[in-house]
Amino acid sequence: MLSSRTPDLPRPRAAALAALLALLALAQLGGPARATLAPNPFGTAPAPPSANPLAGARWFVDSQWGLAARQARAWSGSHPDWARTMEKLAAQPEAKRFGGFTADVQRTVRAFLVRAAQQGPGTVPILVIYRLKHVRCGRYGDSYGERLAYRRWIDAFARAVGGYRALIFLEPDALITVGCLSGSGLRTRIGELRYAGAKLAALPHGVVYLDAGAADALSAGYAAHLLRMAGVARLNGFFLNATHYDWTGDELRYGNAISRRVGLKHFVISTAVNGNGPLVPSSRVRYGNEVLCNPPGRALGTPPTTNTGSPLADAYMWIGDPGRSSGPCHPGDPPNGSWFPRYALGLAERAHF
């Protein structure tokens, strides 16, 4: 037992003992002995500020209510080969979408998080906020009621997440669609994203990325400009390719170019449906750089992983929720956002991981 009086030691040893006792006291008080380390949102151990917050996470795979899992069970008796193919999707974490179509967002989000937590300690669910009305152009957001409704929705979402672990992808298409907005519409969009980002950044165990489009949609300079205005500095970073089919390598180069312009923020690339890359239309001038509405011949991309080989790319993720329809693009295609089993099966059949 140490006495209250420092023993007669040579001065260097006495100074070392005093320093050690001071460090122990600081550690017990939770003082600045750990000030150089940032909290790890998915656990209790601190992590370096530049570390990948997704590394080592165990993702929630919803084997009960996941879209692909339910489809595999439905086909298990009538089409066992299809069911086995669908397991390629069912075995991966599903990025669960929440938006204006979600009834009672606070209750629904909380129920999803509770179900994820029941899979075991440390399980991390993946959530996508898809609430903005991206199809609106021109005088978008001029209604005070619409702006207030968005803030209330975000407030309810944040209350639902509370202290749960969660990986959150904020508003796919939010910045990629600003080209059609008026000046006031753009200000509204940026204001909405800044508000949502501030709310979500305050979550104790949340990791949040903001959408930055895709390499074949916006220039890196313009995407970076929009990200800065939208408050990416307070978030973990940005994500790419959520609604496109672009090659991973192209998106990796694009992400690095954006990152250099926004303070080396990290990013995530969606590889959900880019296994065969984009379908280039016959006329890019008339139809754009790639076909985005249920393009035929596409395939699942690299399964979710944090082993990207790039220090700035935190993960490849299936953000695009493979198997959902982009709309009634062809006869028989279901509405936008609906589960499309035939298309999902094709993606899985052509996958070559």
* Residues 283-304 pLDDT 10s: 776 767 888 999 999 999 999 9
Most confident range (mean pLDDT) of 180-189, 191-200, 283-292, 328-337 is: 191-200
Looking at 19-23, 59-63, 121-125, which range is the least confident one? 19-23
Question: In this predicted structure, what is the pLDDT of residue 140?
Answer: 63
Q: Are 178 and 189 in contact (CB under 8 A)?
A: yes
Query: Is 150's pLDDT higher than 70?
Result: yes
Average pLDDT over the chain, rounded to an integer: 86
Angstrom distance (rounded) from CA 129 to CA 87: 26
User: Which has more pLDDT, 70 or 280?
Assistant: 70
- Read off the pLDDT band of 51 (50, 70, 90): confident
Look up the pTM and report it.
0.85
- Domain 59-349 carries which CATH code? 3.20.20.40
pLDDT mean over 186-191: 92
Question: In this predicted structure, what is the pLDDT of residue 170?
Answer: 98
Query: Is 133's pLDDT higher than 90?
Result: no
pLDDT mean over 59-79: 96
> CATH 3.20.20.40: which residues of the chain?
59-349
pLDDT mean over 55-78: 95
Question: In this predicted structure, what is the pLDDT of residue 6?
Answer: 33
CA neighbours within 13 Å on the CB side: how many for 111? 9
CA 299 to chain centroid, in Å, comes to 21
pLDDT mean over 209-214: 97
pLDDT mean over 137-142: 64
Query: Is 7's pLDDT higher than 50?
Result: no
Query: Is 4's pLDDT higher than 70?
Result: no
Q: Are 125 and 165 in contact (CB under 8 A)?
A: yes
Question: In this predicted structure, what is the pLDDT of residue 16?
Answer: 43
Helix (H) or strand (E) holding 322: none
Question: In this predicted structure, what is the pLDDT of residue 26?
Answer: 31
Q: Are 145 and 185 in contact (CB under 8 A)?
A: no
Query: Is 273's pLDDT higher than 70?
Result: yes
Helix (H, G, I), strand (E, B) or coil at 136: coil
Angstrom distance (rounded) from CA 320 to CA 97: 10
- Cα distances from 351 to residues 86, 87, 324, in angstroms, run 11, 12, 16
Most confident range (mean pLDDT) of 25-34, 96-105, 253-262 is: 253-262
Question: In this predicted structure, what is the pLDDT of residue 182?
Answer: 87
Angstrom distance (rounded) from CA 219 to CA 56: 32
Strand runs labelled E in the chain: 38-39, 46-47, 58-59, 96-99, 123-124, 126-130, 166-170, 206-211, 237-240, 266-270, 313-317
Question: In this predicted structure, what is the pLDDT of residue 144?
Answer: 81
